[in-house]
A and B are shown apart, each in its own frame.
Chain A
Amino acid sequence: MIEVRNLEKVFQKDQSEVRVLEDISLTIGEGEFVSIMAPSGMGKSTFLNILGCLDKPSSGTYILDNVPVHEMNDDELSHIRNKKFGFVFQSFHLLPRMTAWENVTLPLIYSEADANMKAKAVQVLEAVGLGDRVDHLPRELSGGQQQRVAIARALVNDPRIILADEPTGNLDSKSGQEIMGIFKKLHGEGRTLIVVTHDREVALLSDRIIEMKDGRISSDRPTAQALTEVAL
Chain B
Amino acid sequence: MRAARMARQALSAVSENKTRTLLMMLGVIIGVATLTIIASSVLGARGMVMEKVEKFGLDQIMIMAGAGRKPGVPQPIPTTLRVEDGQAIESEVPNIKDVSPQINRRDYLVKYGAKSSYGVLVAANPNWSAVWNTAAESGRFLSEEDRTRLARVAVIGKTVVRDLFEDEDPIGKQVLLGNNPFEVIGVLEPRGTSATGVDMDSRVIIPLSTGQKRVFNQEYLAMIKVALQDPSRMDQTVADVRALLRERHNLPQGLEDDFTIVTPTQVMSLASKVSTTFSLFLVLVSAISLIVGAVVIANIMFIAVNERKGEIGIRRAVGATKNDILSQFLFEAVTIALLGGVIGAALGIVGLKGLAFLMKAPMAAMWQPIALALLSAALVGLAAGIQPARAAANLNPIEALR
Contacts and interface: CB of A to CB of B under 8 A. Distances in A.
A75 B322 contact: yes
Nearest to B17: A97
A107 B318 contact: yes
A64 B401 CA distance: 23
A111 B5 CA distance: 11
Nearest to A84: B319
A110 B316 CA distance: 9
B318 A82 contact: yes
A93 B16 contact: no
B322 A81 contact: no
Interface string B380-402: 00000000000000000110010
Contact of B319 (A83, A95, A98, A117): A83
A78 B2 contact: no
Interface string B292-323: 00000000000000000011011111111111
Interface string A142-164: 00000000000100010000000
B255 interface: no
B324 A110 contact: yes
B304 to A, nearest CB: 13
A3 interface: no
A52 B398 CA distance: 11
A125 to B, nearest CB: 16
B193 interface: no
A111 B319 contact: yes
Interface in A146-187: 153, 157
Given A89-B401, A97-B16, A74 B318 contact: no
A89 B318 CA distance: 12
A19 interface: no
Contacts of B322: 74-75, 78
B319 to A, nearest CB: 2
B41 to A, nearest CB: 43
A112 B318 contact: no
12 contacts: A54-B398, A78-B322, A81-B316, A81-B319, A87-B318, A89-B401, A98-B12, A106-B315, A107-B318, A109-B2, A109-B5, A110-B318
Contact of B401 (A93, A98, A112): A93
Contacts of B320: 78, 109-110
A229 interface: no
Contacts of A83: 319
Nearest to A98: B12
A17 B98 CA distance: 96
A114 B9 contact: no
Residues of B in contact with A, size category: 20 to 34
A165 to B, nearest CB: 9
B1 A114 contact: yes
A95 B314 contact: yes
A193 to B, nearest CB: 17
Nearest to B318: A107
Residue picked from B6, B314, B322, B398, most chain A C-beta under 10 Å: B314
Contact of B313 (A74, A79, A93, A97): A93
A32 interface: no
Contacts of A89: 401
Nearest to B5: A109
A74 B321 contact: yes
A49 interface: yes
A49 B317 CA distance: 10
B9 A81 contact: no
B401 to A, nearest CB: 7
Contacts of A87: 317-318
Interface in A49-86: 49, 52, 54-55, 74-75, 78-79, 81-83
Contacts of B317: 52, 54, 81, 87, 93
B398 A49 contact: yes
Interface in B8-35: 9, 12, 16
B6 A78 contact: no
Interface string A103-129: 000111111101001000000000000
A73 to B, nearest CB: 10
Given A49-B398, A109-B5, A79 B314 contact: no
A157 B320 CA distance: 13
Given A54-B317, A74-B322, A110-B315, 12 more contacts: A49-B398, A55-B397, A75-B322, A82-B319, A106-B314, A106-B315, A109-B5, A109-B9, A109-B320, A110-B319, A110-B321, A153-B318
Contacts of B2: 109-110, 112
4 shortest A-B CB distances, which residue pairs? A82-B319, A110-B319, A107-B318, A78-B321
B316 A78 contact: yes
A187 to B, nearest CB: 22
A104 to B, nearest CB: 10
A98 B315 CA distance: 13
Contacts of A49: 398
Contacts of B310: 93
Contacts of B314: 93, 95, 106
B397 to A, nearest CB: 5
Nearest to A103: B314
A95 B311 contact: yes
B318 A55 contact: no
A79 to B, nearest CB: 7
B305 to A, nearest CB: 15
